[in-house]
Chains A and B, each alone.
Chain A
Amino acid sequence: MAVVEWFTAPLAYDFMVRAILISGFIGIVCAVLSCFMTLKGWALMGDAVSHSVTPGVVLANILGLPFAIGAFVFGVGSVLAIGFIKSHTRIKEDTVIGLVFTGFFALGLVLISKSPSNIDLKHILFGNVLGISTPDLIQTLIIGTFTLVMVSILKKDLLLFCFDPIHARSIGLNVEFLYYVLLTLLSLTIVVALQAVGIILVVAMLVTPGAIAYLLTDRFDHMIGYAVLSAVFSNIMGIYISFHFDASTGGCIVVLQTLLFLVAMIFAPKYGLLKRKF
């Protein structure tokens, strides 16, 4: 059977099995976070943080540290920089975000071009899940698991923070703490997602699954379920397609996600265009 073979043949390669499993896992982590990002309206923040981690990844590589540490430091650093400039100057937030993340990203490009070791720019920008190394794999699993545990513990508080921070504060929750928790989880998720699709496309992983799910349901728990399904499906199928057609893995994953979004946008039972028009 050609169809069965299409799915089984790549499994003969160890690197494919690893890529498929880790992509599925990355899909779960990103999908869960993307629900919060969609509801909080933090897509631009996700884009900013993901670009800002570039110099961190390069520096970690030069210094021989785990890439996750460098990425995380610069991810959080960009958030703090945005917060500081916003509150100490008269510049509006979207300008500050645009300014900070392009600055960090440009610094990353300079560092790559002057780096003595052979860092592959393409792998950083576009991901390299088919060639993921064992230390990177372990880092991704640890950080992803930590993120999922944190979200499941704080799920209700984070949801309330997204929905109604005024009420959250009025019942004594520490809203600033929740703000920084969500930003930290965002940075960690970006570190995880970098492996699959690279810096440029990370924001898709943080937005699209949540957007698809948001069109399909009115319940938050179902929303997480739909987001996870769509992300895991596109991550794994994206790898298969990229293998068979020898195309960019990150590209295939995100194109698939976008197609799923279009289907949801048109055919969603309650909020789809067809339902709304007729």
Chain B
Amino acid sequence: MSIQVENLTVTYNGKVALHGANLNLKSGAIAGLVGMNGSGKSTLFKAIMGFVTPSSGRVLINDLPMRLAQKQGLVAYIPQAEEVDWNFPVSVADVVMMGRYGYMNFLRIPSKSDRQVVRDSLEKGQMWNFRDRQIGELSGGQKKRTFLARALAQQGKVMLLDEPFTGVDVKTEKAIIELLLELKAQGHTILISTHDLNSISTFCDQVVFINQTILAYGATQDIFTQENLARTFGEILPNIQTNRKQDRE
């Protein structure tokens, strides 16, 4: 399940948010999206989700145009915590069931297999015991795992995670990473935006550097370097574990 971004330019009210971006992620990869605030990370996500209309270029998911990919439920999105109305009157199980709507008839009546998938997803996300909780009554990590479980229930082969480790304890971070590695092994393609540069080399096999355009992307061991970090952030970040020997010395 590949993500292909071709010469993508997005403008908001005359301001260029993303310019001539190219990206090609193959099946079975975890890619870390690295960039400053305002570098176009969310714009790239929105474009891959089909939420902004690019002024030029296109996005293909598994060689399909965005709209078709969405109809097949291929792309799952895990929102940032602040994008969610946590006071909304829905339970954890309700949210995860929303991942299945694309598979149901127009009345959205869950079938036996929908219920089974929801149960499996809740168990995988370690949220089965909290399934009847209103979503506002969860801890930061539980909230993340709820939306991760929804993405599992959706069975989208492409997953976009926006800052999944913000406000999450170490235990949950580890659990999420383990789950992502498992999904990667099943051929999922996962794109994660994160501020936690130190964890990149521990689980991302690909890195994407973004600053108004995609500066570089590729295997972590090849391109997660001080030079690329400096190009992305405009300064040297001394404490980041990068992969080239000469950087460390």
A180 located at the interface, meaning its Cβ lies under 8 Å from any Cβ of chain B in the complex: no
Known contacts being A153-B106, A166-B51, A166-B77, is A171 close to B89, with CB within 8 Å? no
A223 located at the interface, meaning its Cβ lies under 8 Å from any Cβ of chain B in the complex: yes
Known contacts being A157-B108, A167-B77, A172-B72, is A218 close to B89, with CB within 8 Å? yes
Contact B73 A156 (CB under 8 A): no
B76 located at the interface, meaning its Cβ lies under 8 Å from any Cβ of chain A in the complex: yes
Complex Cα spacing A240 to B160, Å? 57
Contact B101 A160 (CB under 8 A): yes
Chain A residues with CB under 8 A of B51: 166, 169
- Minimum C-beta distance from A47 to chain B (A): 21
Select which of A159, A172, A219, A222 is within 8 A of B102 by beta carbon.
A172
Contact A214 B89 (CB under 8 A): yes
A184 located at the interface, meaning its Cβ lies under 8 Å from any Cβ of chain B in the complex: no
- Minimum C-beta distance from A215 to chain B (A): 11
Chain A residues with CB under 8 A of B85: 39, 163
Chain B residues with CB under 8 A of A169: 49-51, 70
Known contacts being A157-B108, A164-B98, A218-B89, is A171 close to B70, with CB within 8 Å? yes
Select which of B77, B83, B84, B88 is within 8 A of A170 by beta carbon.
B77
Total count of chain A residues near the partner, CB < 8 A: 24
Contact B99 A171 (CB under 8 A): yes
Complex Cα spacing A130 to B76, Å? 53
Known contacts being A170-B76, A172-B73, is A217 close to B98, with CB within 8 Å? no
Q: Which A residue sits closest to B134, measured CB to CB?
A: A218
- Minimum C-beta distance from A87 to chain B (A): 11
- If A171-B99, A171-B102, A214-B89 are given as contacts, then 10 extra A-B residue pairs at C-beta distance below 8 Å, sorted by A number, are A39-B89, A156-B101, A156-B108, A167-B77, A167-B150, A172-B102, A217-B89, A218-B89, A220-B89, A223-B89
Instruction: Mark B residues whose CB is within 8 Å of A.
Output: 49-51, 70-73, 75-77, 79, 83-85, 88-91, 94, 98-99, 101-102, 106-108, 134, 136, 150, 154, 156
